[in-house]
Amino acid sequence: SGQLDLKVGGRPVKIHTHPASTRRTLYGFIDRQNLPAVFRTFDFANPDAHCPKRFENIVPQQALFLMNGSFVHDQAKCLIQQKEFMDAANDKAKLHFLHQTVFQRNPSTIEIQEALVFLSPKGTASWADYAQVLLLSNEFRFVD
């Protein structure tokens, strides 16, 4: 969404507060005695133990948290507020921008057709909703 703070180094930040910090989690302060609940939702490694390899776990609560939480919704709004999106000549150009930004590829013909139906004036969907759909997709969340 273009919000990541790319500054290298610096003091630790609280990454679980609202509004969310834009620093990489590498710079996050972890209170070992008071681990935030959101970390437990995403199977955060035990900060008191050596953890050379993390186990993989996907549970429905994680998907629900992402769908209903404010973080992904806010990032979707940031995506459509970027200058390149706002300056796009038409809906297809906006779709190309979103797919390039999120997936690093152009949308297929079928994806363009389905997106235009999703965004049609008859529906209640908005560009922020469509950007959120892309951010919640398996293609974005998982590495093949």
**pLDDT of res. 101:** 95
CA dist., res. 116 & res. 136, Å (int): 18
The answer to whether residue 130 scores a pLDDT higher than 60 is: yes
- Has residue 62 been placed in a domain? no
Task: Compute CA 90 distance to the chain's CA centroid, rounded to the nearest angstrom.
Answer: 24
pLDDT mean over 101-127: 88
- Has residue 116 been placed in a domain? yes
On whether both 96 and 38 belong to a single domain, the answer is: no
On whether both 103 and 125 belong to a single domain, the answer is: yes
Chain position carrying tokens 């970027």: 82
**pLDDT of res. 34:** 73
Indicate the number of domains in the chain. 2
On whether both 28 and 83 belong to a single domain, the answer is: no
Indicate whether this model's pTM tops 0.75: no
pLDDT mean over 18-46: 69
- Report in angstroms the alpha-carbon separations of 49 from 44, 45, 46, 113: 12, 8, 6, 50
pLDDT in tens, 61-104: 777 877 888 888 888 998 999 999 999 999 999 999 999 999 99
Round the average pLDDT of the chain to a whole number and report it.
81
Residue 129 domain boundaries: 68-141
On whether both 118 and 76 belong to a single domain, the answer is: yes
- Has residue 37 been placed in a domain? yes
Which residue(s) pair with 13 in the sheet? 28
Tokens for 130, please give them: 């469509």
For residue 97, give every residue at least 6 positions away whose Cβ sits within 8 Å of its Cβ, in sequence order, or none: 82, 84, 85, 88
For residue 14, give every residue at least 6 positions away whose Cβ sits within 8 Å of its Cβ, in sequence order, or none: 21, 28, 29
